[in-house]
Amino acid sequence: MATPLMAGIAVAAAAYAGKYGIQAWQAFKARPRALRKFYEGGFQPTMTRREATLILGV
C-alpha cells in the first residue's frame, strides 16, 4: 500500500525538479552575452577614450 504512494511522490518530485531545472536553464541561456564577457586587458594610469568604450561596451 505504501509502495505506490512513495512511487507517486518520487515521480512528482522528479517532475517538479525537472520543471525547475528547465526554467533555470532557459533563464541562464536568455542572459545577454555582454554580462559574460569582460575586457581582459590592463588599464592605463589615466583612463583613455578607448578604455572607456571597452568598459562601457559601446
Sequential pLDDT tens for the chain (58 residues): 789 999 999 999 999 999 999 999 999 888 877 655 666 667 778 888 888 887 787 7
Question: 53 is written with which cell numbers?
Answer: 568604450
Q: What is the pLDDT of residue 3?
A: 95
pTM score: 0.50
CA-based end-to-end distance of the chain: 65
**In one letter, which amino acid is 17?**
A
Question: 5 is written with which cell numbers?
Answer: 504512494
